[in-house]
Amino acid sequence: MNTYLTKSLALLTLSLPMLTWAAPDPKLIKQGEYLARAGDCFACHSVTGGKPFAGGLGMETPIGKIYSSNITPDKKAGIGTWTFEDFDKLMRTGVTKAGYTVYPAMPYPSYSRLSQADMQALYAYFMLGVKPDPTPSRDSDIVWPLSMRFPLAIWRWMFAPKPAPYQPPATAVANAQVLRGAYLVEGLGHCGACHTARSVTMQEKAYTSNGNTDFLAGGQVIDGWSVPSLRNEHGGGLARWSTADIVDFLKTGRNGHTASFGAMNDVVAHSTQYLNNDDLSAIAVYLKSLPANNKAQPFVADPKVATQLFNGQPATAGALLYLNKCAGCHRSDGKGYSTAFPALAGNAVLQTSDATSAINIILSGGAVPSTHTAPSALTMAPYANELSDQQVADVVNFIQTSWGNRGGTVVARDVAKVRKVSVPVKPLTAAAFAAGREGTVPQPVSRPSSVDKLDSK
């Protein structure tokens, strides 16, 4: 009898790990879902009209287009046969169960910083909280021999940081809130993947804020949008934003200074709007703790242009175009209307020498995402078919240098380059709006007429 009991207990003990994954704590799955939101996994591994996490999103690279993979727990098309060790290895090293290295479009250098507990929760969610989908992953459009994978392993060996869970700097003098913000931004949030400049060999110039002010200092151009700095600096950074402004922006895609556009719409719609206030505040406090990477002077308001426009006396061709087509929403003083129509005067996007985003927003239009706390879908329709390259350049030069803005100027050929990659926004459909629960980005249906009637200076 004792032998029988001993064997039974041994078998039960050996089966515990399997039972744990077969019926885990629902709280663990819920935690994993929250972490997947923080990591913005949905945005890259889902396509419009497809199933969540079934992959297929195309991403342009210098050597061709690659597609995100199916990460549902389907046993054939997805990761249903992966053990936790397989999952953990991919997230920390970029190496799949099959043994090949993924393209660094997957920010595994950042994901490698996750704690073991968070990695376990993520695994539980993807295995037991996501519906399996049989959609096969697509092969890349990269031609051979550029499609060979072994150079990716060499790149990983040379440039990816050694994988290790996040550890606070030993010399850091920071409170728990700053450290939590650093963990989210440098890890799951992988903010540096866009907001940190890259070397010619495509690795980020810094993966953390430790001793390197290049981290989150902006400088990239992605899909026709210039990526701004997230450091506490003038000249394109967050110096004029309070922590409350940052929280508002991450939760709604808008605040009193600006509105989101481009890829940031997806981040807000699929990721940051779902984070709790404590984590959003931690992110904001951390970003405000990052010292300046430049010596840019602060914005100082200049009322000269506002007075000219309010009195109907535009001094340049760009000023006249602005008065006729833009002032109805953004006002003659460039201050906009709170969170409805973003301010241009003092807007951080307009304080740098790179006017790519200013060009693109005029050509392609824009739309802030409809979120749970800000459901209104405020939009700006494109002007690509209404304005010539020279006219766009005139307007851009006007808004980049008026009201005290310190931005650079452009010429018509600069606009022509952006026009080649700009994608005009499309009308919002009822189906797309109804899909807002998954973070669908609303698209514009109309543009207000050009007026100064709404202008209250």
Q: Which amino acid is at 248?
A: D
Q: Which amino acid is at 166?
A: Y
Say how many Å lie between the first and final Cα of the chain, rounded: 91
Q: What is the pLDDT of residues 344-381, one digit of tens each?
A: 999 999 999 999 999 999 999 988 888 888 888 788 98
Q: Do 383 and 366 contact (CB within 8 A), yes or no?
A: no
The residue whose two tokens read 């009898």 is 1
Q: Which amino acid is at 427?
A: P
* Distance (Å, whole) CA 219 – CA 99: 34
More confident: 153 or 313: 313
Angle subtended at Cα 254 by Cα 35 and Cα 56, rounded to the nearest 5 degrees: 45
Is residue 431's pLDDT more than 50? no
Arithmetic mean of pLDDT, 296-311: 94
* Distance (Å, whole) CA 101 – CA 156: 8
Q: What is the pLDDT of residues 435-447, one digit of tens each?
A: 443 433 333 333 3
Q: What is the pLDDT of residues 89-110, one digit of tens each?
A: 999 999 999 998 888 888 999 9
2: confidence class by pLDDT, cuts 50, 70, 90 = very low
Which class for 80: exposed (0-12), middle (13-18), buried (19 or more C-beta within 10 A)? Answer: middle
- What pLDDT is recorded for position 267? 94
Domain at 176-288: CATH architecture? Orthogonal Bundle (1.10)
* Distance (Å, whole) CA 276 – CA 270: 14
Beta bridge partners of 198: 204
Percent of the chain with pLDDT over 90: 62
Q: What is the pLDDT of residues 311-333, one digit of tens each?
A: 999 999 999 999 999 999 999 99
Return the closest-CA partner of residue 54 out of 78, 80, 87, 36.
78
Specify the CATH superfamily of domain 304-438.
Cytochrome c-like domain (1.10.760.10)
The residue whose two tokens read 């967050």 is 238
More confident: 70 or 148: 70
Arithmetic mean of pLDDT, 139-156: 74
Return the closest-CA partner of residue 356 out of 424, 418, 413.
418
Joined together, the tokens standing for residue 67 give 């597609």
- What pLDDT is recorded for position 367? 86
> Where is mean pLDDT largest: 117-126, 256-265, 365-374?
117-126
Domain ranges of the chain: 21-159, 176-288, 304-438
**Which residue pairs from 412-418 have beta carbons closer than 8 angstroms and sit at least 24 positions apart in sequence?**
412/388, 413/389, 414/355, 414/359, 415/359, 415/363, 415/389, 415/390, 416/389, 418/224, 418/356, 418/359, 418/360, 418/363
Q: What is the bridge-based pairing of β-strands 58-61 and 379-380? A: unpaired
331 Rama sector, left if φ>0, alpha if ψ -120 to 50, beta otherwise: left
Average pLDDT of the chain to the nearest whole number? 85
- What pLDDT is recorded for position 72? 96
59: confidence class by pLDDT, cuts 50, 70, 90 = confident
Return the closest-CA partner of residue 248 out of 257, 239, 240.
257
**For helices 412-419 and 389-401, angle between their N-to-C axes, nearest 10 degrees:** 110
Is residue 244's pLDDT more than 50? yes
Question: Do the two domains 176-288 and 304-438 of this chain adopt the same fold?
Answer: yes
